[in-house]
Chains A and B, each alone.
Chain A
Amino acid sequence: MTARDEDIHASLSGVTRVYPGAAGTPPVHALGPIDLELKRGEFFAVVGPSGCGKSTLLEVLAGLQQPTAGTVTFEGRPVSGKVSDGIGVVFQEDASFPWLTVWDNAAFGLRRNGVAAAEIRRRVDDALAFMGLTDFARAYPAQLSGGMRQRVCISRTLVLQPRLILLDEPFGALDAQTRLLMGDEVLRLWRRTGATILLITHALDEAAMLADRIGAMSARPGRFLDIVVTGWPRERDSKIVSEAGFAEITGRLWDNLRGESMKSLGHSGVMAG
C-alpha cells in the first residue's frame, strides 16, 4: 500500500445507484457515476438540489445500500451492503429512542457491543459532557428540544469512536441560529476525534463554514459538478461566516447549483439564463 493509498480513508469509484421501477414505471437513475476519495481526517460536505441523490450517496458509502455499479471502500476494504465497523451515521430524522433516557440512549451501542460497564460509564459521561448534555442525562428525549435530541444522536454515535462519521442533513430541522451553533459543536467533535466526516446538507452556508472540501452535485442522476476547496484552518468556528472568502465560496457553490436547482424544480426551460 502506497502512502497515497493510506491517505485515502474511504472511496467511491464509478458508483451508480438505479432504483428499480414499481409496476409499470421506469427505473430511477438516482446517482452517478460518482468518483470520490475522502482523505483521512478531512471534513467533506456534499451539497446539491433536492432529490439529487445526496442521501443515496451517503447510504451507499455507509453500506446501507448496495451500489448498482462501481466499488466502495473504507480503510482499503470493500463496503458491500453492510455497515462496516468504524462507521457512524447521524440521520436527519430524530432517531433518538423515546423510551430511553439520554444516558441510556448514548450507551445503547456500547451495551450492544458488550463493552464493560465501567468503560460504558466513562465513555457516555465523557460524550454527554462534550455535547453539553450532562445535566439532561436522566431526561427523556421528549423533554428536550430538537437540537438537543440531535445531540443525543450524535453522542450515541460518538461513544462508539467511529473513524468515519456520516452526517445526513443532521441540522435540517433546526432553525438557522441553532444550526450555526450545532455546526460549532460538529467542528469541535471533528477536531477532537480526528475522524473523517462526510456531511450531506442543502445549506450552502453550512457546507462553506464546516468543510475542507465541498462537492457540488448535479440534479438527478447526481454527479459531482465541482469540488470546492475552502482552505480554512482546522481551528475554525461559526465566526468564519464573516470572512471575505466565505461569500466567495457560497457564491461559487450557488453558481454551480442554480441551474441544477432549477432543473430539479422543473424550471430549466423557463428560467435559463
Chain B
Amino acid sequence: MSRVGWIRIAVLVIAIGLLELCCRVGLIDHRVVIPPSQMADALIRLLISGEANDQIVRTFGIVVIAALISIVAGFALGLVIHALPRVRQSLDPFFATYYAVPIFIFYPVLIVIFGLSVIPIMLMGVATAIVAMIIATLNGLDRVPQVLTKVARVHRMGTIATALLLKLPAAAPHLFTGVKLAVSYAFIGVIASEFILAPAGLGRVISDAYSDFNNRQMYALMLLLIIVATAVNMALHVVDQRWAERRGIAKL
C-alpha cells in the first residue's frame, strides 16, 4: 500500500480510537453516542439475527434502481441537450441553480400523487441524482477534442458510430464522475426520504430507533449505511483512478 493509503488508514483509526476513548471515559454521554466498538457489535448481532434484512434489501434495492435510472436517463438527456444548443442555453440556468433548491419540499407532493410507497422515495432518489449525471455528460461532451470529430469524418463514420465509438469513450472520465455523484446522491435522496416519511426502509428504522432511544440499533444501522456508501464510493474511485492513470489524467 502507498504512503498516502497508510496515512488515510491512520487518520481513520485515530478518529475512531478518539471517539472510543471519549465514550469510554465519559467525555461523551453514552445516552448520546455509544462507543464505536458497541456500534460494530450491535451491527454484527443485527446482521446475524436477520432482523433488519428486509429493510436492508428494500433500501439498497431502491438506491440501486434510482442510481441506474439517473445514470441511464441522465446520460441520454445529456446527449440530447448537448445536440440542441438552444435548448441547452435555456436550461443552463436551471442546472446551475438546481442543487440550491431544497428538492425535498416536493416529497409531500409525490406522496400525495403516488401514495406512501416505494415510488415517491425512488423518484426523490432520481430527482437528487439525475441532474449531476446530466451536467457531467454535458461537461464530458464539451471536452471531446474537436480533432476526434475530424478523425471520425476521415474514417467516414456516421453520427451514431461517432457518438458510440469516439465521443462516448473520449467523454468517459467525466461521465464516470457523473456516475460517482449519481450513486452518492441516490443514497442521500433515498435514505433522507425514508427518514422523513416512509412505511419501511433503513431510514424509517433509524428514525424509529431515534424516537425510541434505541441507540444500539440506530448507530448500528448508521454504521451500516456509512460502510456501504463508503465502500461503493471507494470502489468507484479505484476504477476511476485506474482509468485516469491509463489515460494520463492526474486525479487525486
Contact = CB atoms under 8 A, between A and B. Distances in A.
Bound pair: A and B? yes
- Most chain B CB inside 10 Å of its own CB: which residue of A83, A99, A112, A140: A99
Interface string B123-165: 0000000000000000000000111101101111100010001
A81 B147 CA distance: 17
A98 B154 CA distance: 18
A93 B145 contact: yes
Contact of B248 (A62, A88, A109, A143): A143
B172 interface: yes
A97 B153 contact: no
A258 to B, nearest CB: 31
A83 B155 CA distance: 8
A87 B155 CA distance: 10
Given A97-B169, A112-B157, A140 B247 contact: yes
Contacts of B248: 98, 140-143
A108 interface: yes
B155 A112 contact: yes
A60 interface: no
Contacts of A59: 150
Interface string A84-100: 01011101011101110
B151 A91 contact: yes
Contacts of A140: 246-248
A46 to B, nearest CB: 18
Nearest to A88: B154
B154 A99 contact: no
Given A95-B147, A140-B247, A108 B155 contact: yes
A99 B247 contact: yes
Given A99-B170, A112-B157, A89 B246 contact: no
A82 interface: yes
Contact of B151 (A85, A95, A143): A95
Given A98-B247, A99-B169, A99-B247, A93 B147 contact: yes
Contacts of B156: 82-83, 85
Contact of A83 (B148, B154, B172): B154
A83 B156 CA distance: 7
Contacts of B161: 112
Given A83-B156, A99-B170, A142 B247 contact: yes
Contacts of B153: 64, 82-83
Contacts of B145: 93-95
A82 B152 CA distance: 11
Nearest to A92: B147
B65 interface: no
A85 B155 CA distance: 9
Contacts of B155: 108-109, 112
B119 interface: no
B166 interface: yes
B147 A62 contact: no
Nearest to B147: A93
Nearest to B166: A97
- Most chain A CB inside 10 Å of its own CB: which residue of B156, B166, B249: B156
Nearest to A108: B155
Contacts of B157: 112
A125 B106 CA distance: 60
A160 B245 CA distance: 30
B9 to A, nearest CB: 29
Contact of B150 (A87, A89, A97): A89
A88 B154 CA distance: 7
Nearest to A139: B246
B247 A91 contact: no
A207 to B, nearest CB: 22
- Most chain A CB inside 10 Å of its own CB: which residue of B151, B153, B246: B151
Interface string B161-192: 10001100110100000000000000000000
Interface of A: 59, 62, 64, 82-83, 85, 87-89, 91, 93-95, 97-99, 108-109, 112, 140-143
In order of increasing CB-CB distance, the 8 nearest A-B pairs are A142-B248, A93-B147, A98-B247, A99-B169, A95-B147, A89-B154, A140-B246, A95-B151
9 contacts: A62-B154, A64-B154, A83-B154, A91-B150, A93-B145, A97-B148, A99-B172, A108-B155, A142-B245
